[in-house]
Amino acid sequence: MYELGVVYRNITRTDAATADALASLGSATVHEAMGRVGLLKPYMRPIYAGAQVSGTAVTVLLHPGDNWMMHVVAEQIRPGDIVVAAITAECTDGYFGDLLATSFIARGARALVIDAGVRDVKTLTEMRFPVWSKAISSKGTIKATIGSVNIPVVCAGMLVTPGDVVVADDDGVVCVPRALAAKTLQAAQAREANEGAKRDQLAQGVLGLDMYKMREPLAAAGLKYID
């Protein structure tokens, strides 16, 4: 399915205000706001706890054991981007380390999402450059085969199109298509606006059963209480 050997220099990014505003809502709320789709597989984990970011996707397709295109994608990064890296086959090699991170940061990247491995994680943690990956591995890569930059890619089971918004935190990584970003932001904000009042009630001991009026539908579904 992939077009190989091409670099698209002009992509249409989601507008920055929308892309930026999604970070604070978090991946779980954004995923709900989209109708429970858009989530990358949960094997994608952050290299350190606590990072929470959003940004516009710049994509790169790499071959197993070959990180040559990482240098090509670096040039296409603009401030506010998150690099999304897909591999043409399963691989856990360490495609990315502190030198590439230095370059990505200089270009304005906020994070890397890679369906493979990463290394130098101690230094990356000190640099506070967040990476969500499938593995951590010292295993290095070669620079022999070309892939592509800024084509739609499948990363950890999810289609990511250049310019989409990526939202990532300790719970996982969500991709929001550009066309849905504004609507998703509104829906996510609406969800969250609601949560403060609910949290207060629950903290006072009100049960979800009552707050959400679940007792009747549960009985209708046949739930029986036995003393």
Residue numbers belonging to the annotated binding site for Mg(2+): 120
Distance of CA 69 to the CA centre of its chain: 20
CA distance 157 to 48: 22
Q: What is the DSSP string of 18-70?
A: HHHHTGGGHHHHHHHHTTS--BPPTT-EESSTT--EEEEEEEEEEBTTB-HHH
Residue with smaller CB distance to a second copy, 21 or 98: 98
Asked if 169 is part of the footprint of a second copy (rule: CB under 8 A), the reply reads yes
Q: How many residues bind a second copy, per CB under 8 A?
A: 104
CB of 159 to a second copy, least distance (A): 5
Binding mask 62-101 for a second copy (x = CB under 8 A): -xxx--x-xxx-xx------------xxxxxxx--xxxx-
Q: Map the footprint of a second copy across residues 133-152, applying CB under 8 A.
A: 135-140, 142-146, 152
Three-class SS of residue 114?
strand
Angle of the 181-203 helix axis to the 26-33 helix axis, nearest 10: 120
CB of 133 to a second copy, least distance (A): 11
In one letter, which amino acid is 158?
M
Span of 16-24, 181-189, 210-218 interacting with a second copy by CB under 8 A: 210-218
Asked if 13 is part of the footprint of a second copy (rule: CB under 8 A), the reply reads no
